[in-house]
Amino acid sequence: MFTLRDVFFAFVWIALLVLAGRLIKQRVGWIRQLYLPESIVAGVLALLLGPQVLGAIATSISGEGTALSSGVFPEEIRTIWSQSPGIFINIVFAALFLGEVIPSPKQIWRRAAPQVVFGQSLAWGQYVVGILATLLILIPVFGANPIAGSLIEIAFEGGHGTAGGMADTFIELGFEEGADLALGLATVGIISGIVTGTFLSKWGRKKGYVASVQSEVEQPDDLPDLSHSETQAKRERRRQLTHGLLIDPLSLNFGFVGIAIIIGWVILKGLVLVESVTWGLSGFTMMGYVPLFPMALIGGIIVQIIMVRLDLDALIIPELTKNIAGMALDVVVVTALASISLTVIGGNLGIFLTLSIVGILWNVVFFLYYAPKIFPDHWFEKGIGDLGQSMGVTATGILLLRMVDPENRSGAFESFAYKQLFFEPIVGGGLFTAAAPALIARLGLVNTLLITGGLLVFWLGVGFVLMRQRSQAEMVR
């Protein structure tokens, strides 16, 4: 049991760890060169100062019961941290589209169709290669849980936030080691994404595939905002709406995030109810294992649409909702990494290494083979952003874009941004990402392979149609 005072100091510790992570990143060159977020550095620091590293060293030297045998942090703090990722990830996803201009699907498709096809194909391919590796290697050789087939997409596309937020789902499905493996894979993904992307950027420039001129690459903190800039009319409308309003704008926007989470919770409970009176009567249930965060994302989209319809969307300040989501994501990453079990990863090292190698190979090979075919121009610039996102996080994708196209001459930034609206509600932490473990547990690996393989073929087919239409248009010219 823990008290509110314990919760308070648990988050004070997180704040101090993030500051320490920033200091370490500034002082250690190789960490700075990898562009690792401070939250990852802070999470690893918390892990090192916990019972698994510092505590184990102290115990081996002085025995049990010494001052540092459990690490620096009390058990109550560690308990709070272990429960935090699954809670705070809902805030991250609820705020994702708040304040964003949401174009119609037709507009998105017209401006970013090849980008959507490429990103979707990468994601569904991660399921296909992950499930195939599980069927052919992990189960026969290591006796792995079949749900391991979903870990590449959850960790690489979803990142640390999704991996940490799905811990309860893994436990409920009897795959207790899943969260630890996913967090480890997410760390491998972001590091390998930056290292591989940097190498490919230099290779692409040498081969003449990159048309833009390279300039000094800034840190991810300094990357440009891909959302639409606010107009003077919207700022004026905000002044009208907030006149005489005695509430801090940050608190107001946090309220909108809360409404999005509530709407997501209602949607999830509604789906569980519908399942219980329909197909669930046969014994096939899945919605009870789906976490809240993908529904919170839908809730955020609904809140944004309603506010636009009511002409109240000026009350939502994109900078503040991003700050709310960013702080919540820092909490998720720090606490998830601090709670990771090194023993579990060590005991499943074969599974961990196999999925890491298969995931990296799929992303790199697919990028080199398919990007030149699907993108009509600037294939390297437009493809490498998705490569970075598919192995790390969105910021990694933008970072690699800046490496090859710092002045956005290719238009890849806009395509990359528009693609997210067709992408994140489904994969990369969306609905299917959240449901995939339960789907494998209920339908089995082979049936899930047929579903994901079919979706991969579908998107590749859409890409073929786009390429054929482009070829015919060029012939007419």
- pLDDT value of residue 120: 93
Other beta carbons within 10 Å of 242 = 15
Residues 369 and 453 in one domain: yes
Residue 212 has a pLDDT of 57
In this predicted structure, what is the pLDDT of residue 461?
Answer: 96
In a domain, 79, yes or no: no
Q: Which residue has the tokens 């991003």?
A: 322
Q: Which residues of the chain have pLDDT under 70?
A: 212-230, 393, 395, 477
Calculate Rg over the CA atoms of the chain. 23
- Residue 477's pLDDT is what? 65
Is 13 in the same domain as 130?
no
Q: How far is CA 243 from the centre of its chain?
A: 37
239 and 293, same domain (yes or no)? yes
Based on the fold, state whether residues 380 and 339 are members of the same structural domain. Answer: yes
pLDDT of 181 reads 94
Q: How many domains does the chain have?
A: 2
Residues 57, 17 share a domain? yes
pLDDT of residue 420: 77
**DSSP code per residue over 225-294:** P-SPPPPHHHHHHHHHHHTT--S-HHHHHHHHHHHHHHHHHHHHHHHHHHHHHTGGGGT---GGGS-SHH
Neighbour tally for 382: CB within 10 Å: 27
Same domain, 10 and 136: no
In a domain, 223, yes or no: no
Does residue 257 form part of some domain?
Answer: yes
> Which pLDDT tens digit goes with each residue over 26-80?
999 888 877 778 888 999 999 999 998 998 898 888 877 777 888 899 999 999 9
Do residues 112 and 419 touch, judged by C-beta distance below 8 A? Answer: yes
Domain assignment present for 222: no
**What sections of 63-154 are H helices per DSSP?**
75-94, 105-133, 139-142, 151-152
Task: Please give the Cα distance from 434 to 298 (Å, whole number).
Answer: 13
Write down the pLDDT at residue 99. Answer: 85
- Give the model's pLDDT for residue 226: 47
Same domain, 330 and 186: yes
Going by the DSSP 8-state scheme, the letter that residue 344 receives in this structure is H
Domain that holds residue 163: 91-215+231-476
Digit-coded pLDDT (tens) for 215-262: 444 444 444 444 455 677 777 777 887 777 778 889 999 999 999 999
Among residues 30, 45, 73, the one where a domain terminates is 73
